Structure 1
Amino acid sequence: MEKRKNDSKIWRRVCGLLLAYKKYFPGIFICLVCTSFMTFLQPLVIRRITDQGMVAKDMECILIFSGVLVGISVIVQVTEVIQTRLFSNIHNGLTFSLYREAYWKMDTLNIGYYDEKGSAEIANTIGSDISNVASVADQITTFSISSILQIVGGIVGLSILDWKLALMITLLIPVKFLVVLYFSRKKNLAFERLIENNRVFFGWLGDCINGIREMKLWDLFRIKNADFEKLQGKMMDSYRENMMLDEYRTFSVSMLDALMNAALYISGGLLIVRGEFTIGGAFAFMTYSAYVVNPITFLINIKYYFAQIKPSAKRFFEFLEQPEEGGEHAGSLSRFDKDAEVPVLELKDVIFGYKEGTPILSGVNLTVQRGDRIAVIGENGSGKSTLLDLILGFYHPEKGEIKFWGIPTENLEPKIIRNRIAVVSQKPYLFQGTIEENVNIGGTASHEDVVDACIKSGAITFIEKLDDGFMQRAGQDGAKLSGGEKQKVAVARAILKKADILLLDEATSGFDRESDKVLMNLVCGELKDKTVIFITHRYEELEGVEMVYRLAEGRLELMEGEI
């Protein structure tokens, strides 16, 4: 019962998505009615041509009604062109809206979701699920509506010609329904297994790609080959299972259709021999029979087709319902007074751990005033990156409080916090684009501002040596640049942001001594009014820093006279 309720909820949401394009429905309905009426007329026209034209040898009748047939075909084809155009608008609109929902959902998703799943798995899941869900707006839906109208027309036509034969055809419908229902249930389970096996494989493959250096250094392609073959084997088994279910269903339905056609030919032939049916009437009857049987086969199969859509729809909606950044902490304030005479940043008794009962930070306290230049040092694994993630609002304290300009973070939107902070990390990410695009990541600065920022960060020294200068493509994650060059681009990016707080997270790990000096001169000179926080384990980076805190065993302590 619970499963049926969940299925019903999924289909209601899918229908709700389609209702956004209801302006196209009247046009599609008119096209469907027109097509159905034209196809209803065709058997009657053919009967006229056969009985009153060919049998009676009336050439004029043949010419007139042949022209009528051509006219009907033209109307049908033109109508279907219009109908296809309308449905393509719905399909494209639905696909775009689903991708847009997924795109903006990614903006609000908890950062832990990305830590848990790889980029390849997320991209593949979103792409395949949206493709399957959007297929509900493909021709399948068109055929569903036109099939109903065609069946109505077929039954009317059959009843006009011979109600007894019409009754015989309708008796076949329950049998076909039971056959397709059996296979649709099996298909639903098989397709869910196929989706899950695909998800697992692409997650594994994405993990290998992300760790490609280790894969090569440790000869892991050979070692992981057994995992590859096992996961691929599961995918192939699932694919084979789905393909064979399709074939078994087709075989069963085709055999039922063959038996029905044989019965119709025998019955129709018997009526013609007895003189109770004309040849044209028999042709018309066979055509109307196809109007009933073929659409019914398709309509019954709709459940089978939708069995492939439901797992994707379920998974996509679950993705949209993933916990969002902040969760119950998300505030509604979108701005604050940065000129207020209060600390820029304040942490009070902050406790946090990724797993319950194993805190990484235990009662951290920190007060940062406007214009302060402080450093947080600590060994690798001491919790420096965790502290940074808390400040940036990616995670929230289990206990304690974090304030910006005197306002608790739970009362602030995460975006407003990050808009006031520029971050330069040890491994900054560069997008596929030019160096200028990666510096001017917000797209609002002029070329002159970009050049000025690169001069200040020291990036200009290597950019001027490139063949294409600022138009040089950075490659995937800055693959064409060294680690130090990427960090200089990131520093220039941070300068352009003109944020109130500058966070440098091991930001000079790829710098030489000269580049270190350039950055410190920048921090102590032009950026002296900014609030700067260094996260580092290198003591040589502390020149010009006013206060130094050591993070050890989950606690933050001010170091006095120890450097």
Structure 2
Amino acid sequence: MALEDDRHSEETTILKQNIKIVGAVFGADASYEHLFNYVIIMASLSLSSSIFAGLRGGFFTYSQARIDRRIRGDLFRSFVRQEIGFFDANKTGEICSRINADCQTMSNTLALYMNVFCRNMTMLIGSLIFMFLLSWRLTVVTFTAFLQIAEESQNSVAKANDVAEEVLSAIRTVKSFACERFESLRFLSYLNITLSIGARKATAHVGFLLTTEFLQMGILTMVLFYGGHLVIQGKIDSGLLVSFMLYQFQLGENLRELGEVWNGLMQAVGASRKVFELIDRQPEVQNDGHIALDDRIARMEGRIEFRNVHFRYPTRPNVPVLKGLSFTVEPGQIVALVGPSGGGKSSCIALLEHFYEPESGEVLLDGIPVRDYDHKFLHTKVSLVGQEPVLYARSVRENIAYGSTATYEAVQRASRHANAHGFITETHEGYETDVGEKGGQMSGGQKQRIAIARALVREPVVLLLDEATSALDSESEHLVQEAIQRNLKGRTVLLIAHRLSTVENADKIVVISGGRVVQEGVHKTLIAEEGLYKQLVQRQMLGAELSEDFTAPKQAHSERTPRARSAKRVPRSTSPSQQSTVQSFLGSSMASSYL
């Protein structure tokens, strides 16, 4: 668009000089001297106009790239600074739309339209000056003004992108439930909103063009009539009238372009309002702690304490999750958190990682609130292995060393500890093998072992295990479990697990229900008490028995595995309602004997 404007400017300038050349040849004072003068002026103007147009275009194109880099960079830095609660409340697709669509709109619009605006304002002012010098009367007749809209479209585009991101990232689930048509219609509904807004803008734009064209032609007619009247009266000559009409035509073009600039700038304002709001947003959970090694502590021991912690998620402010929860983990201890789903176990992990701030109470590490630690130092000394490992579309080595300065030897050492070195070296490119988007080139067990290696390469003091094996098949689970057990010694370990064999070997078991600690002790003590822990163990055993009843043929009941025969049995007099409760508790993992 800017280049078209530059060409139009050149053509208008050349046209004016052509008229002067015609006047020099056919006018009353025609002479070669005048002809050559006007030709030289025209050539000089054309050359200078082309040079300045090219320089201006190059400058604004480069400015556009710089603006785009600056806005995207600032916005992305703001996003990665935000607390986890921000991402709970804002969907990934909408966030990506802000980085892509909105930033693109802003940078394109600002650079392009500022270019057009500067050019047209300069020409408009110049045209008005020349028009006033030629005839102030005609200038007064010509002078008029206009206005326009747009922000809603950016929000509708963001919502449509959100749907697309959500669906494509979970395409297996969409297909397994045959929801392709439903999701397509949902995406289309947001695009229809964008279309209706576009129709409104188009209607307004048509009205704007009709109005400006009508006004321009009306003004041209008035100028012709009034200018002709002045020519007849001898107050101006015909050449001056033609020159004035050219300037008046240029003025109309400039005003129309400024109208387009205004429309484009309003679109940029619509996009920029939310972008700048997000750039300026301060995280609710501040990561401005400064304590690290060589500061108030010489060496981290790994003592964890939850002291009367109350907590609720920012997206669910009316639902208390933790209600005065307190427990301690001594350095080097292995402590298991068990309890019904939704009791607050994973919330304890999230608070210790300082993903959220407690409503009241303190989460302490070596007697210091976790918020006071330097952000990078804290997450170097506290490593998490979750249920669903996240890998990036990079090499295996880069995924293991992610966020650290680990050497190649350290990466290999961590991989051996995580039972991952064998399968990594069997791949075609070894540690340089690309794992694919979200680790798609690796199996679930391989991804989990890479995640364990990533946690171990930092040599953490505290290791957090949040159901690290619950989503794996039995073979992968065995390898991952072996890798975990091998690396527990010498570290403080806080784990969430449902498998009895994992829990009963812990130094301490903390039973959490309804956001409170209801029992605390070792397996032998807790199983002897009448409490929730004993109920959970009995339910697990009943789940194993029910699983056998559902899967084994009736004639093979006497051939159960030694493990099943040796398990402590729950009386067969369990009522149907109790069995229903057990099945509800165990869900799809009933056959896996989970707590």
> Do these two structures clear the TM 0.5 threshold for a shared fold by scoring above it?
yes
Contact 2:419-2:483 within 8 A present in 1 as well: no
Q: Compared with structure 1, are the counterparts of its residues 460 and 84 closer, same or farther at alpha carbon in structure 2 (3 Å cutoff)?
A: same
Looking at structure 1, the residues matched to 288 and 11 of structure 2 have their Cα atoms a distance apart, in angstroms, of 60
Q: Quick check: 509-518 or 77-86, which moved more? A: 509-518
Q: SS state of the match for residue 348, structure 1?
A: strand
- The answer to whether structure 1 residue 89 and structure 2 residue 89 are counterparts is no
Tell me the residue number matched to 1:281: 240
Q: Compared with structure 1, are the counterparts of its residues 166 and 206 closer, same or farther at alpha carbon in structure 2 (3 Å cutoff)?
A: same
- The answer to whether structure 1 residue 165 and structure 2 residue 121 are counterparts is no
Query: Could you list the per-position Cα deviations for residues 394-450 of structure 1 after superposition, in whole angstroms to 9, with x for gaps in the alignment?
Result: 111112111122212343454442232111111011111222221221363333332
User: Which residues in structure 2 correspond to 1:97-496 (within 5 Å)?
Assistant: 97-170=70-143, 173=144, 177=145, 180-181=146-147, 184=148, 187=149, 191-224=150-183, 226-272=185-231, 276-327=235-286, 331-335=288-292, 337-339=296-298, 344-354=303-313, 355-442=316-403, 444-496=405-457
Q: Quick check: 313-322 or 382-391, which moved more? A: 313-322
Query: Could you list the per-position Cα deviations for residues 481-533 of structure 1 after superposition, in whole angstroms to 9, with x for gaps in the alignment?
Result: 11111101101111212222211111223556676666566556565222222
1:342 shift after superposition: 6.8
Matched AA of 1:499: P
Q: Compared with structure 1, are the counterparts of its residues 416 and 54 closer, same or farther at alpha carbon in structure 2 (3 Å cutoff)?
A: farther
- The answer to whether structure 1 residue 541 and structure 2 residue 502 are counterparts is yes
Q: Which runs of 5+ in 2 are unaligned?
A: 1-6, 528-595
Q: Computing the radius of gyration over CA atoms, which structure comes out larger, 1 or 2?
A: 2
Q: SS state of the match for residue 380, structure 1?
A: coil
Query: Could you list the per-position Cα deviations for residues 289-327 of structure 1 after superposition, in whole angstroms to 9, with x for gaps in the alignment?
Result: 234333234345544332212221211122234451415
Matched AA of 1:157: F
Q: Which runs of 5+ in 1 are unaligned?
A: 1-34
2:50 to 62, 77, 85: 77
Matched AA of 1:382: G
Query: Could you list the per-position Cα deviations for residues 455-485 of structure 1 after superposition, in whole angstroms to 9, with x for gaps in the alignment?
Result: 2211223223333333332222111211111
Q: SS state of the match for residue 497, structure 1?
A: coil
Looking at structure 2, the residues matched to 47 and 555 of structure 1 have their Cα atoms a distance apart, in angstroms, of 91
Contact 1:440-1:493 within 8 A present in 2 as well: yes
Contact 1:125-1:199 within 8 A present in 2 as well: yes
Looking at structure 1, the residues matched to 213 and 387 of structure 2 have their Cα atoms a distance apart, in angstroms, of 64
Q: Compared with structure 1, are the counterparts of its residues 310 and 60 closer, same or farther at alpha carbon in structure 2 (3 Å cutoff)?
A: same
Q: Compared with structure 1, are the counterparts of its residues 229 and 98 closer, same or farther at alpha carbon in structure 2 (3 Å cutoff)?
A: closer
Looking at structure 2, the residues matched to 61 and 104 of structure 1 have their Cα atoms a distance apart, in angstroms, of 63
Task: Give the alignment's Cα RMSD to 1 decimal.
Answer: 3.1
TM-score computed with the length of structure 1 as normaliser: 0.82
Looking at structure 2, the residues matched to 117 and 273 of structure 1 have their Cα atoms a distance apart, in angstroms, of 71
Query: Could you list the per-position Cα deviations for residues 248-272 of structure 1 after superposition, in whole angstroms to 9, with x for gaps in the alignment?
Result: 2112111111222233334444555
Q: SS state of the match for residue 138, structure 1?
A: helix
- The answer to whether structure 1 residue 559 and structure 2 residue 515 are counterparts is no
Looking at structure 2, the residues matched to 371 and 213 of structure 1 have their Cα atoms a distance apart, in angstroms, of 41
TM-score computed with the length of structure 2 as normaliser: 0.78
Q: SS state of the match for residue 467, structure 1?
A: coil
Percent identity over the alignment is 22
Matched AA of 1:239: G
Q: Compared with structure 1, are the counterparts of its residues 156 and 46 closer, same or farther at alpha carbon in structure 2 (3 Å cutoff)?
A: farther
2:22 to 28, 37, 50: 50
Looking at structure 1, the residues matched to 501 and 166 of structure 2 have their Cα atoms a distance apart, in angstroms, of 35
Looking at structure 1, the residues matched to 238 and 35 of structure 2 have their Cα atoms a distance apart, in angstroms, of 15
Contact 1:50-1:280 within 8 A present in 2 as well: no
Q: SS state of the match for residue 282, structure 1?
A: helix
1:153 shift after superposition: 2.0
Matched AA of 2:40: G
Query: Could you list the per-position Cα deviations for residues 153-202 of structure 1 after superposition, in whole angstroms to 9, with x for gaps in the alignment?
Result: 222222332222122112xx1xxx2xx33xx1xx2xxx333223223323
Contact 1:380-1:537 within 8 A present in 2 as well: no
Contact 1:43-1:288 within 8 A present in 2 as well: no
Q: Compared with structure 1, are the counterparts of its residues 533 and 337 closer, same or farther at alpha carbon in structure 2 (3 Å cutoff)?
A: farther
